[in-house]
Amino acid sequence: MFQTEIDTSTDKAAVWLRRGEVIGIPTETVYGLAGNALNEDAVLKIFKVKNRPHFDPLIVHVHHREAISRYVETIPDAAAALLEKFSPGPLTVLLPKKPVIPYVVTSGLDTVAIRVPNHPLTLELLRKIDFPLAAPSANPFGYISPTTSYHVYDQLHGRIPYILDGGATDIGIESTIVGFQNDRVTVYRLGGLSVEDIEKVTGSVTLDLQRSSDPRAPGMLQHHYAPRKPLHFINSPDEAPDTNAGYIVFQHALPHIPAHRQIILSPAGDLTEAAKKLFSAMRQLDKSDVPVIYAVRFPDVGLGRAINDRLMRASASPSQPDN
Ligand code: TXA
Ligand code: MG
Protein backbone atom coordinates (compact mmCIF):
# COMPACT_ATOMS: atom_id res chain seq x y z
CA MET A 1 0.00 0.00 0.00
CA PHE A 2 1.13 3.51 -0.80
CA GLN A 3 0.17 6.92 0.49
CA THR A 4 -0.70 8.24 -2.97
CA GLU A 5 0.62 11.72 -3.65
CA ILE A 6 -0.83 14.01 -6.34
CA ASP A 7 1.59 16.69 -7.52
CA THR A 8 2.88 18.51 -10.58
CA SER A 9 6.58 17.64 -10.11
CA THR A 10 8.06 15.66 -13.00
CA ASP A 11 11.23 15.15 -10.89
CA LYS A 12 9.26 13.20 -8.32
CA ALA A 13 7.56 11.26 -11.11
CA ALA A 14 10.94 10.36 -12.61
CA VAL A 15 12.23 9.09 -9.25
CA TRP A 16 9.35 6.65 -8.86
CA LEU A 17 9.65 5.45 -12.45
CA ARG A 18 13.41 4.87 -12.15
CA ARG A 19 12.67 2.73 -9.10
CA GLY A 20 10.43 0.53 -11.24
CA GLU A 21 7.15 1.77 -9.74
CA VAL A 22 4.04 2.67 -11.72
CA ILE A 23 2.38 6.08 -11.50
CA GLY A 24 -0.51 8.05 -13.00
CA ILE A 25 0.41 10.45 -15.82
CA PRO A 26 -1.64 12.97 -17.78
CA THR A 27 -1.88 12.85 -21.56
CA GLU A 28 -4.04 14.86 -23.95
CA THR A 29 -6.42 11.90 -24.32
CA VAL A 30 -6.90 10.24 -20.92
CA TYR A 31 -4.68 9.63 -17.88
CA GLY A 32 -2.28 6.71 -18.20
CA LEU A 33 -0.88 4.22 -15.69
CA ALA A 34 2.79 4.39 -16.57
CA GLY A 35 5.86 2.27 -15.97
CA ASN A 36 9.26 1.70 -17.58
CA ALA A 37 8.42 -0.13 -20.82
CA LEU A 38 11.86 -1.79 -20.88
CA ASN A 39 11.54 -3.19 -17.34
CA GLU A 40 9.43 -6.37 -17.27
CA ASP A 41 8.75 -6.14 -13.55
CA ALA A 42 7.42 -2.59 -13.89
CA VAL A 43 5.23 -3.68 -16.81
CA LEU A 44 3.87 -6.61 -14.81
CA LYS A 45 2.96 -4.17 -12.01
CA ILE A 46 0.85 -2.19 -14.49
CA PHE A 47 -1.22 -5.27 -15.31
CA LYS A 48 -1.57 -6.05 -11.61
CA VAL A 49 -2.63 -2.56 -10.49
CA LYS A 50 -5.22 -2.36 -13.27
CA ASN A 51 -6.38 -5.93 -12.92
CA ARG A 52 -5.80 -6.21 -16.63
CA PRO A 53 -5.56 -9.57 -18.37
CA HIS A 54 -2.12 -10.27 -19.79
CA PHE A 55 -3.49 -10.86 -23.30
CA ASP A 56 -4.32 -7.15 -23.65
CA PRO A 57 -1.15 -5.30 -24.80
CA LEU A 58 0.03 -1.84 -23.73
CA ILE A 59 0.84 1.36 -25.63
CA VAL A 60 4.43 2.66 -25.42
CA HIS A 61 4.91 6.43 -25.05
CA VAL A 62 7.97 8.35 -26.29
CA HIS A 63 8.90 12.04 -26.20
CA HIS A 64 9.33 12.58 -29.96
CA ARG A 65 8.47 10.78 -33.16
CA GLU A 66 12.18 10.47 -33.95
CA ALA A 67 12.60 8.26 -30.89
CA ILE A 68 10.19 5.70 -32.35
CA SER A 69 12.86 4.13 -34.59
CA ARG A 70 14.74 2.98 -31.46
CA TYR A 71 11.92 0.60 -30.72
CA VAL A 72 10.56 -0.50 -34.11
CA GLU A 73 12.16 -2.28 -37.08
CA THR A 74 10.56 -0.25 -39.87
CA ILE A 75 8.32 2.76 -40.34
CA PRO A 76 6.25 2.54 -43.54
CA ASP A 77 5.74 5.76 -45.50
CA ALA A 78 2.11 6.08 -44.50
CA ALA A 79 3.05 5.80 -40.82
CA ALA A 80 5.81 8.38 -41.22
CA ALA A 81 3.40 10.77 -42.93
CA LEU A 82 0.82 10.38 -40.17
CA LEU A 83 3.43 10.80 -37.42
CA GLU A 84 4.82 13.88 -39.09
CA LYS A 85 1.39 15.48 -39.23
CA PHE A 86 -0.20 14.27 -35.97
CA SER A 87 2.65 13.77 -33.45
CA PRO A 88 2.56 14.69 -30.70
CA GLY A 89 -1.13 13.89 -30.66
CA PRO A 90 -3.87 11.27 -30.27
CA LEU A 91 -2.38 8.87 -32.82
CA THR A 92 -1.05 5.40 -31.95
CA VAL A 93 0.76 3.42 -34.64
CA LEU A 94 1.24 -0.37 -34.69
CA LEU A 95 4.72 -1.23 -35.99
CA PRO A 96 7.03 -4.30 -35.90
CA LYS A 97 8.86 -4.19 -32.59
CA LYS A 98 12.58 -4.40 -31.98
CA PRO A 99 13.75 -7.01 -29.44
CA VAL A 100 14.35 -4.27 -26.83
CA ILE A 101 10.57 -4.07 -26.29
CA PRO A 102 9.68 -6.99 -24.01
CA TYR A 103 6.89 -9.34 -25.05
CA VAL A 104 5.01 -8.60 -21.80
CA VAL A 105 4.31 -5.15 -23.26
CA THR A 106 2.88 -6.51 -26.52
CA SER A 107 1.22 -9.62 -25.04
CA GLY A 108 3.43 -11.77 -27.24
CA LEU A 109 2.67 -9.90 -30.47
CA ASP A 110 5.47 -8.90 -32.83
CA THR A 111 4.01 -5.41 -33.26
CA VAL A 112 4.19 -2.66 -30.69
CA ALA A 113 1.67 0.16 -30.27
CA ILE A 114 3.54 3.44 -29.89
CA ARG A 115 2.67 7.11 -29.61
CA VAL A 116 3.87 10.60 -28.65
CA PRO A 117 1.44 12.07 -26.11
CA ASN A 118 0.72 15.76 -26.44
CA HIS A 119 0.90 16.94 -22.84
CA PRO A 120 3.62 19.37 -21.70
CA LEU A 121 4.23 17.73 -18.31
CA THR A 122 4.43 14.22 -19.68
CA LEU A 123 6.69 15.31 -22.54
CA GLU A 124 8.93 16.97 -19.93
CA LEU A 125 8.92 13.75 -17.90
CA LEU A 126 9.73 11.61 -20.96
CA ARG A 127 12.71 13.85 -21.71
CA LYS A 128 14.01 13.41 -18.14
CA ILE A 129 14.05 9.62 -18.16
CA ASP A 130 16.03 7.43 -20.50
CA PHE A 131 13.34 4.82 -21.16
CA PRO A 132 9.91 4.89 -22.83
CA LEU A 133 6.72 4.51 -20.79
CA ALA A 134 4.21 1.72 -21.19
CA ALA A 135 0.84 3.12 -20.20
CA PRO A 136 -2.71 1.87 -20.53
CA SER A 137 -5.53 4.12 -19.42
CA ALA A 138 -5.39 4.51 -15.61
CA ASN A 139 -8.72 2.86 -14.80
CA PRO A 140 -9.45 -0.57 -13.36
CA PHE A 141 -9.89 -2.94 -16.32
CA GLY A 142 -13.26 -2.51 -18.01
CA TYR A 143 -14.20 0.76 -16.29
CA ILE A 144 -14.44 4.29 -17.71
CA SER A 145 -11.07 5.91 -18.54
CA PRO A 146 -9.94 8.78 -16.25
CA THR A 147 -9.79 12.33 -17.54
CA THR A 148 -8.64 14.04 -14.30
CA SER A 149 -6.05 13.19 -11.65
CA TYR A 150 -8.93 12.88 -9.20
CA HIS A 151 -10.52 10.12 -11.31
CA VAL A 152 -7.24 8.23 -11.04
CA TYR A 153 -6.98 8.86 -7.30
CA ASP A 154 -10.57 7.84 -6.74
CA GLN A 155 -9.94 4.34 -8.05
CA LEU A 156 -6.25 3.62 -7.62
CA HIS A 157 -5.21 5.46 -4.45
CA GLY A 158 -3.15 3.22 -2.20
CA ARG A 159 -2.14 1.09 -5.18
CA ILE A 160 0.28 3.61 -6.73
CA PRO A 161 2.70 6.05 -5.07
CA TYR A 162 2.20 9.07 -7.28
CA ILE A 163 -0.08 10.82 -9.77
CA LEU A 164 1.43 13.54 -11.96
CA ASP A 165 -1.30 16.17 -12.05
CA GLY A 166 -1.76 17.77 -15.46
CA GLY A 167 -5.32 19.03 -15.04
CA ALA A 168 -8.29 17.79 -17.04
CA THR A 169 -7.33 16.13 -20.31
CA ASP A 170 -7.90 18.09 -23.48
CA ILE A 171 -9.36 15.48 -25.79
CA GLY A 172 -11.08 13.16 -23.33
CA ILE A 173 -11.15 9.94 -25.36
CA GLU A 174 -8.27 7.60 -26.14
CA SER A 175 -5.93 7.78 -29.11
CA THR A 176 -6.83 6.39 -32.52
CA ILE A 177 -4.95 3.14 -33.24
CA VAL A 178 -3.68 2.65 -36.79
CA GLY A 179 -1.87 -0.32 -38.37
CA PHE A 180 -0.04 -0.69 -41.69
CA GLN A 181 -0.11 -4.31 -42.79
CA ASN A 182 -0.09 -5.41 -46.44
CA ASP A 183 0.23 -1.84 -47.70
CA ARG A 184 -3.14 -0.98 -46.19
CA VAL A 185 -3.83 1.64 -43.57
CA THR A 186 -6.21 0.11 -41.03
CA VAL A 187 -7.88 1.81 -38.08
CA TYR A 188 -8.29 -0.64 -35.18
CA ARG A 189 -9.66 1.76 -32.60
CA LEU A 190 -11.57 4.98 -33.21
CA GLY A 191 -10.29 7.78 -31.01
CA GLY A 192 -9.25 11.39 -30.62
CA LEU A 193 -7.93 11.66 -34.18
CA SER A 194 -10.82 11.37 -36.62
CA VAL A 195 -10.85 8.95 -39.54
CA GLU A 196 -11.53 11.91 -41.81
CA ASP A 197 -8.29 13.61 -40.69
CA ILE A 198 -6.30 10.40 -41.24
CA GLU A 199 -7.75 9.94 -44.72
CA LYS A 200 -6.67 13.45 -45.70
CA VAL A 201 -3.09 12.20 -45.30
CA THR A 202 -3.27 8.55 -46.37
CA GLY A 203 -6.28 8.25 -48.63
CA SER A 204 -9.06 5.85 -47.73
CA VAL A 205 -8.50 3.55 -44.76
CA THR A 206 -9.97 0.21 -43.72
CA LEU A 207 -11.82 -0.04 -40.42
CA ASP A 208 -11.28 -3.18 -38.35
CA LEU A 209 -13.10 -2.42 -35.12
CA GLN A 210 -13.35 -5.70 -33.28
CA ARG A 211 -16.74 -6.25 -31.78
CA SER A 212 -15.85 -9.55 -30.25
CA SER A 213 -14.76 -10.33 -26.72
CA ASP A 214 -12.37 -12.94 -28.03
CA PRO A 215 -9.10 -12.59 -26.13
CA ARG A 216 -7.23 -13.07 -29.42
CA ALA A 217 -8.55 -9.67 -30.48
CA PRO A 218 -6.75 -7.83 -27.71
CA GLY A 219 -8.12 -4.73 -26.21
CA MET A 220 -10.94 -4.12 -28.56
CA LEU A 221 -13.08 -6.00 -26.09
CA GLN A 222 -16.73 -5.43 -26.56
CA HIS A 223 -17.62 -4.68 -22.95
CA HIS A 224 -15.42 -1.78 -22.02
CA TYR A 225 -15.48 1.81 -20.81
CA ALA A 226 -18.45 0.77 -18.73
CA PRO A 227 -20.02 2.35 -15.66
CA ARG A 228 -21.22 0.05 -12.87
CA LYS A 229 -24.81 1.00 -13.57
CA PRO A 230 -26.56 -0.34 -16.65
CA LEU A 231 -26.09 1.96 -19.61
CA HIS A 232 -28.49 1.82 -22.55
CA PHE A 233 -27.45 3.29 -25.85
CA ILE A 234 -30.53 4.59 -27.66
CA ASN A 235 -30.93 5.83 -31.20
CA SER A 236 -33.30 8.68 -30.67
CA PRO A 237 -34.56 10.88 -27.85
CA ASP A 238 -38.05 9.48 -28.44
CA GLU A 239 -36.86 6.19 -27.00
CA ALA A 240 -36.11 7.89 -23.65
CA PRO A 241 -38.79 6.32 -21.54
CA ASP A 242 -37.81 6.79 -17.95
CA THR A 243 -37.95 10.09 -16.07
CA ASN A 244 -35.94 8.59 -13.18
CA ALA A 245 -33.02 7.59 -15.36
CA GLY A 246 -29.94 9.73 -16.05
CA TYR A 247 -29.33 10.84 -19.63
CA ILE A 248 -26.27 11.78 -21.67
CA VAL A 249 -27.23 13.87 -24.70
CA PHE A 250 -25.30 15.80 -27.30
CA GLN A 251 -26.79 19.24 -27.86
CA HIS A 252 -30.46 19.61 -27.02
CA ALA A 253 -32.18 18.91 -23.71
CA LEU A 254 -34.79 16.16 -23.77
CA PRO A 255 -38.07 18.03 -23.23
CA HIS A 256 -39.82 15.38 -21.11
CA ILE A 257 -36.90 14.61 -18.78
CA PRO A 258 -36.11 16.73 -15.68
CA ALA A 259 -33.11 19.02 -16.26
CA HIS A 260 -31.13 17.64 -13.31
CA ARG A 261 -31.28 14.15 -14.79
CA GLN A 262 -29.58 14.98 -18.05
CA ILE A 263 -26.07 16.01 -18.97
CA ILE A 264 -25.82 17.97 -22.21
CA LEU A 265 -22.28 17.51 -23.51
CA SER A 266 -22.19 20.43 -25.93
CA PRO A 267 -25.03 22.95 -26.20
CA ALA A 268 -23.03 24.49 -29.07
CA GLY A 269 -23.15 21.20 -30.99
CA ASP A 270 -19.38 20.69 -30.99
CA LEU A 271 -18.31 17.01 -31.08
CA THR A 272 -14.80 17.87 -29.84
CA GLU A 273 -16.28 19.46 -26.72
CA ALA A 274 -18.63 16.49 -26.30
CA ALA A 275 -15.74 13.99 -26.48
CA LYS A 276 -13.87 15.96 -23.85
CA LYS A 277 -16.76 15.74 -21.41
CA LEU A 278 -18.04 12.22 -22.16
CA PHE A 279 -16.18 10.12 -19.58
CA SER A 280 -16.70 12.66 -16.77
CA ALA A 281 -20.41 12.65 -17.50
CA MET A 282 -20.51 8.84 -17.34
CA ARG A 283 -18.69 8.88 -14.00
CA GLN A 284 -20.96 11.60 -12.63
CA LEU A 285 -24.11 9.65 -13.45
CA ASP A 286 -22.54 6.43 -12.19
CA LYS A 287 -21.98 8.14 -8.80
CA SER A 288 -25.39 9.82 -8.70
CA ASP A 289 -28.64 8.31 -7.46
CA VAL A 290 -30.01 7.38 -10.89
CA PRO A 291 -30.60 3.62 -11.24
CA VAL A 292 -29.84 3.47 -14.94
CA ILE A 293 -28.15 5.59 -17.60
CA TYR A 294 -29.32 6.28 -21.14
CA ALA A 295 -27.11 7.80 -23.82
CA VAL A 296 -28.55 9.08 -27.07
CA ARG A 297 -26.58 8.26 -30.25
CA PHE A 298 -24.31 11.08 -31.50
CA PRO A 299 -23.93 12.16 -35.14
CA ASP A 300 -21.78 9.51 -36.82
CA VAL A 301 -19.09 11.87 -38.14
CA GLY A 302 -15.70 13.07 -36.85
CA LEU A 303 -15.25 12.39 -33.15
CA GLY A 304 -18.94 11.41 -32.97
CA ARG A 305 -17.93 8.01 -34.34
CA ALA A 306 -15.47 7.45 -31.49
CA ILE A 307 -18.07 8.65 -28.97
CA ASN A 308 -20.66 6.20 -30.36
CA ASP A 309 -18.06 3.42 -30.27
CA ARG A 310 -17.39 4.07 -26.56
CA LEU A 311 -21.10 4.21 -25.73
CA MET A 312 -21.80 1.03 -27.67
CA ARG A 313 -19.07 -0.81 -25.76
CA ALA A 314 -20.19 0.66 -22.43
CA SER A 315 -23.69 -0.65 -23.08
CA ALA A 316 -22.75 -4.17 -24.19
CA SER A 317 -23.63 -6.86 -21.71
CA PRO A 318 -20.59 -8.09 -19.84
CA SER A 319 -18.97 -11.14 -21.41
CA GLN A 320 -16.84 -11.49 -18.33
CA PRO A 321 -16.90 -9.83 -14.94
CA ASP A 322 -15.24 -6.43 -15.09
CA ASN A 323 -13.24 -5.40 -12.09
O1 TXA B 1 -4.98 7.55 -25.52
C2 TXA B 1 -4.49 6.46 -25.25
O3 TXA B 1 -4.14 5.65 -26.13
C4 TXA B 1 -4.28 6.12 -23.78
C5 TXA B 1 -3.23 7.05 -23.21
C6 TXA B 1 -2.89 6.73 -21.77
O7 TXA B 1 -2.09 7.02 -24.02
N8 TXA B 1 -3.93 4.76 -23.61
C9 TXA B 1 -4.82 3.75 -23.80
O10 TXA B 1 -4.33 2.51 -23.49
O11 TXA B 1 -5.96 3.92 -24.18
P12 TXA B 1 -5.23 1.23 -23.28
O13 TXA B 1 -4.30 0.19 -22.78
O14 TXA B 1 -6.39 1.54 -22.43
O15 TXA B 1 -5.65 0.84 -24.72
C16 TXA B 1 -4.66 0.38 -25.61
C17 TXA B 1 -5.25 -0.39 -26.72
C18 TXA B 1 -5.80 -1.70 -26.27
O19 TXA B 1 -7.05 -1.86 -26.90
C20 TXA B 1 -4.78 -2.70 -26.79
O21 TXA B 1 -5.34 -3.93 -27.07
C22 TXA B 1 -4.29 -2.01 -28.04
O23 TXA B 1 -4.21 -0.67 -27.66
N24 TXA B 1 -2.94 -2.44 -28.38
C25 TXA B 1 -1.81 -2.24 -27.70
N26 TXA B 1 -0.77 -2.81 -28.29
C27 TXA B 1 -1.26 -3.43 -29.39
C28 TXA B 1 -0.67 -4.22 -30.42
N29 TXA B 1 0.62 -4.47 -30.43
N30 TXA B 1 -1.50 -4.67 -31.39
C31 TXA B 1 -2.82 -4.41 -31.37
N32 TXA B 1 -3.43 -3.68 -30.42
C33 TXA B 1 -2.66 -3.19 -29.45
MG1 MG C 1 -8.20 1.55 -21.63
Over residues 150-168, the pLDDT tens digits come to 999 999 999 999 999 999 9
139 lines ligand 1 (CB under 6 A): no
The finding on whether 175 has its CB within 6 A of some atom of ligand 1 is: yes
N-term to C-term CA, the chain: 19
CA distance 246 to 240: 10
**Region 207-226 average pLDDT:** 63
- Beta strands 91-96 and 111-115: pairing type? antiparallel
pLDDT value at residue 220: 57
List C-alpha distances in Å: 259 to 234, 250, 256, 322.
Answer: 19, 14, 9, 31
Domain C-terminal end among 170, 202, 220: 170
Q: How many domains does the chain have?
A: 2
| Mean pLDDT of the residues in the chain | 93
Asked if 28 contacts 116 with a C-beta cutoff of 8 angstroms, the reply is no
CATH of the domain at 274: 3.40.50.11030
11 and 155 in a single domain? The answer is yes
| End-of-domain residue from the set 148, 170, 192 | 170
Candidate of 91, 93, 177, 220 to mutate for ligand 1, largest count of ligand atoms within 8 Å of Cβ = 177
pLDDT at res. 242: 83
Same domain, 100 and 242: no
Tally Cβ neighbours within 10 Å of residue 268.
7
For ligand 1, is residue 122 a contact (CB within 6 Å)?
no
Residue 56 Cα: closest atom of ligand 1: 21
Examine residue 149 and state whether it is found in any structural domain, yes or no: yes
Ligand 1 within 6 A of CB of 101: no
Q: Report d(CA 199, CA 213) in Å as an integer.
A: 28
In a domain, residue 19? The reply is yes
If asked whether residues 300 and 156 sit together in one domain, one would say: no
Expressed in angstroms and rounded, the spacing between residue 51 Cα and the centre of ligand 1 is 15
Measured CA to CA, the distance from residue 93 to residue 60 in angstroms comes to 10
Question: Are residue 16 and residue 115 in the same domain, yes or no?
Answer: yes
* Residue 259 located in a structural domain: yes
Query: Does one domain contain both 16 and 149?
Result: yes
Q: Are residues 144 and 236 in the same domain?
A: no
- What's the rounded Cα separation, in Å, for the pair 210 and 218? 9
* Ligand 1 pocket member 136 (CB < 6 A): yes
pLDDT in tens, 285-321: 999 999 999 999 999 999 999 999 999 999 976 543 3
Each residue's pLDDT tens digit, 107-153: 999 999 999 999 999 999 999 999 999 999 999 998 999 999 999 99
> Are 161 and 287 in the same domain?
no
- In this prediction, residue 317 carries a pLDDT of 62
Which CATH number do you get for residue 123?
Answer: 3.90.870.10
The whole domain housing 247 covers 231-315
Indicate which residue's Cα is closest to atom 6 of ligand 1: 32
